[in-house]
């Protein structure tokens, strides 16, 4: 099989394709022949050596794949999930992978694998796990968004942002989004009612004005740092703020320790009295720290696949890039050139 390695911390050029022996599935695991692997901002940070959750460099990252089942490992006797989810060889699937997804074959526990419908392309399937699980947990579970409410989706043109737009639209909410200006026209077509460019305009003023001073009920924010303080200025009573990232300190594909520290220091620290008096709820979300809960999260995956079948959820794919050009895939994210998901193809 081939794998894309981060050979050392640095620019996209440090990504290198290497050959390796095919992995053998262990108990309750399946081997998947990968056709498409999702690229995430976390992978870019890992490549820079700035992602504490990633394995030590040199390493193979990648949180999600789609492909076909090649073989299954032995089933264990203790109520094995493989009996609950039989996946014969040839089944088309998507899977969450805890790293190692940038590979033409992966082995993963069967409870991280979902069969996909025939009309779903592999590139579409590989776009679902990270972006749609994160968006569903943020918008539905923590955000508890209901029809008629207003939601502000930061980074609306990213993979998570577009997933959140589609979920919010299906709920019947009014959608506000922040993104680079060149993405606004397409995001309007996807259903965003009002867009702001958080880097060039006073978006707090714009959101305040366009909500008649009332603010929004749910905010999902992967930017972090000072942006979270601004969020609180537009959070309505009974509002829910969900923080799920820290992209603020990354500039032109670089993240310095000093900027990161500044960004962390700039995060607001509202006390319980403030929350109580403002009727606010604040949540943090990190999908990468939920591996132990995967059995509890299978319903999220099932709901996402049901959303696909209904036609509510359709990943927007910015680019499908061959493994051999993985550096370009990372560059697209760093240079803010993607609208939607970037996929690597084997």
| Residues in touch with ligand NAP (CB under 6 A) | 40-42, 130-131, 134, 155, 157-161, 179-180, 183, 222-223, 244-245, 247, 250, 285-288, 333-334, 336, 338
**Residue 228 or 333: which CB sits closer to ligand NAP?**
333
90 φ, ψ (degrees, to nearest 5): 95, -15
What's the CA gap between 241 and 26, in Å, rounded?
41
What DSSP line would sit under 139-173, residue for residue? IIIIT---TT-EEEETTTTSHHHHHHHHHHHHHT-
**Residue 163 or 216: which CB sits closer to ligand NAP?**
163
CB of 115 to ligand NAP, least distance (A): 23
**Residue 33 or 334: which CB sits closer to ligand NAP?**
334
**Residue 82 or 247: which CB sits closer to ligand NAP?**
247
> Closest CB to ligand NAP belongs to which residue?
158
CB of 71 to ligand NAP, least distance (A): 30
CB of 223 to ligand NAP, least distance (A): 6
CB of 201 to ligand NAP, least distance (A): 13
The structure tokens listed for 125 are: 């399937």
216-221 vs 250-251, strand pairing mode: unpaired
CB 64 within 8 A of CB 129: yes
Minimal CA–CA distance to 102: which of 330, 331, 277? 330
Neighbours of 343 (CB within 10 A): 27
CB of 315 to ligand NAP, least distance (A): 11
- Burial of 338 (C-beta count, 10 Å sphere; 0-12/13-18/19+): buried
CB 340 within 8 A of CB 314: no
Cβ partners under 8 Å of residue 210, min gap 6: 176, 194
CB of 87 to ligand NAP, least distance (A): 25
What's the CA gap between 183 and 90, in Å, rounded?
38
**Residue 40 or 72: which CB sits closer to ligand NAP?**
40
CB of 190 to ligand NAP, least distance (A): 13
**Residue 95 or 287: which CB sits closer to ligand NAP?**
287
CB of 196 to ligand NAP, least distance (A): 11
What DSSP line would sit under 262-296, residue for residue? HHHHTS----HHHHHHHTEEEEE--GGG-GGGHHH
The structure tokens listed for 12 are: 């996209």
**Residue 235 or 297: which CB sits closer to ligand NAP?**
297
H/E stretch holding 272: helix 272-278
CB of 139 to ligand NAP, least distance (A): 13
**Residue 41 or 203: which CB sits closer to ligand NAP?**
41
**Residue 72 or 227: which CB sits closer to ligand NAP?**
227
Cβ partners under 8 Å of residue 302, min gap 6: 114
What's the CA gap between 126 and 177, in Å, rounded?
24
254 forms beta bridges with 251
């Amino acid at each position: 099989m081939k794998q894309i390695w981060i050979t050392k911390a640095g620019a996209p050029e440090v990504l290198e394709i290497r050959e390796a022996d095919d992995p053998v599935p262990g108990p309750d695991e399946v081997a998947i022949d990968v056709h498409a692997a999702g690229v995430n901002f976390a992978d870019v940070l890992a490549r820079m050596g700035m992602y504490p959750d990633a394995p030590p460099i040199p390493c193979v990252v990648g949180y999600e794949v789609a492909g076909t089942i090649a073989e299954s490992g032995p089933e264990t006797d203790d109520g094995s999930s493989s009996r609950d989810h039989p996946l014969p060889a040839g089944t088309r699937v998507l899977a969450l992978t805890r790293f190692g997804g940038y590979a033409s074959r992966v082995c993963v526990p069967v409870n991280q694998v979902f069969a996909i419908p025939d009309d779903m392309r592999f590139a579409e399937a590989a776009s679902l796990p990270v972006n749609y699980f994160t968006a569903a947990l943020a918008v539905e579970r923590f955000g508890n968004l209901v029809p008629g409410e207003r939601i502000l989706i930061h980074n609306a043109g990213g993979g998570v942002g577009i997933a959140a737009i589609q979920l919010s639209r299906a709920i019947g909410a009014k959608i506000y989004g922040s993104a680079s200006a060149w993405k606004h026209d397409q995001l309007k077509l996807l259903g965003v009612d009002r867009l702001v460019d958080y880097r060039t305009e006073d978006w707090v003023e714009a959101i305040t004005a366009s909500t008649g001073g009332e603010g929004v009920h749910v905010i999902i924010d992967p930017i972090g740092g000072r942006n979270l303080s601004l969020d609180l200025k537009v959070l309505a009573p009974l509002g829910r703020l969900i923080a799920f990232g820290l992209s603020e300190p990354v500039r032109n594909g670089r993240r310095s320790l000093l900027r990161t520290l500044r960004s962390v220091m700039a995060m607001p620290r509202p006390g319980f009295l403030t929350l109580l008096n403002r009727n606010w709820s604040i949540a943090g979300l990190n999908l990468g720290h939920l591996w132990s809960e995967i059995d509890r999260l299978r319903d999220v995956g099932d709901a996402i696949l049901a959303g696909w079948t209904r036609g509510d959820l359709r990943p927007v794919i910015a680019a499908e890039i061959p493994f051999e050009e993985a550096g370009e895939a990372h560059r697209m994210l760093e240079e803010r050139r993607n609208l939607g998901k970037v996929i690597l193809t084997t």
